[in-house]
Amino acid sequence: MTLILGDAAVRSVFDWKEAVEALRAAYAGDPDGTRFPARRMARGDHGWLRTLSGVPADPALMGLKIIAASPEHGRVSYLIPLFDQRSAELVALLDGHSITGFRTAAASALAADVLAPAGALRVGLIGSGFEAKNHVRALAAVRELTSVTVYSPRSESRTRCARELADLGVEITPAESARAAVADADVVVCAARSRDQSPTLLGAWLRPGMTVVSIGSTLPEQREVDPEVLSRCALLVADMVEEVLEETGDLIAARAQGVDVSRRTVSLADLVSGRHPGREKREQILLYKSVGSAVQDLAVAEMCARSAERDGLGLVTDLGIHPVEK
């Protein structure tokens, strides 16, 4: 029997604190490249498929996320199948749309919680959409937030973002520019891809002690932070080190200008496990950059599946997909 969870069911069982703790446990277990290989992408004339797979050290479930995209129609589908590691049975099938946004923000909150100085945080938010709002909610689950200042190009989007986050009870202020949004921040969240793929955050705007979270540029043609951000950061924390360094537009552009941060880069697993201390001086500027990982997808998907099973949600059915003897 297989549990099927649509997007509405995933949203109803999701919990930010539980997600961050699931990721903390997953990264503390040192997910290596054999258990979680690099993502794979197949490109065609009219669409592309990306797969992220993993077999966690926890011997419960293994699985993958499949992303199917039709760029010419602006449509994307996300699917996450989870299998029992011992029996190879299909345990759950989940719509991965919200999980993708949830796991990205939860991983960012985990990184920011470890990297940012202790205490309440002021957040500067570049972006006002799904990912941006998720990041504020995730951060609020791990730290007290004293203020959030948000910028996106359209004033109505900034206002709507502030209104939709009002339930957090945090002062949320729209800003007239990205620079104004980050001016007084402890944590800067970049969650808005620019229309012309030029950077949305400039290193000249940063102050000592800031922690920067960058999640909006995951492909060679995309840009989010400029080379000066990378030049000024004392440490780059990456969820997938090789992919961040070699396959993101930000790092490609930085290398072209002679900025190489490879010796200042560690994995999120190194940070969470304590193998790297993270912030060593209060005045350091630190950067967490994410391209997404099956570690995150599977940890959050399993958490949602377990919660739905506990609460009796979702559809349990025999799909007729069963292991065969080999």
Residue 325: inside a domain: no
Range of the domain at 165: 105-289
C-alpha torsion angle, residues 303, 308, 311, 312 (rounded to 10):
-150
Average pLDDT over residues 223-227: 95
pLDDT at 218 over 90: no
Residue 322: inside a domain: no
Question: Do 57 and 203 fall into the same domain?
Answer: no
Strand segments, DSSP code E, in the chain are: 2-5, 40-43, 48-54, 61-70, 75-84, 90-95, 121-126, 145-151, 171-174, 187-190, 211-214, 235-238, 265-267, 286-289, 315-317
Question: Do 117 and 190 fall into the same domain?
Answer: yes
pLDDT tens digits, one per residue of 52-84: 999 998 878 999 999 999 999 999 999 999 999
Residue 220: inside a domain: yes
What is the pLDDT, as a whole number, of residue 219? 81
Higher local confidence (pLDDT), 196 or 76: 76
Question: Do 147 and 49 fall into the same domain?
Answer: no
What is the pLDDT, as a whole number, of residue 32? 74
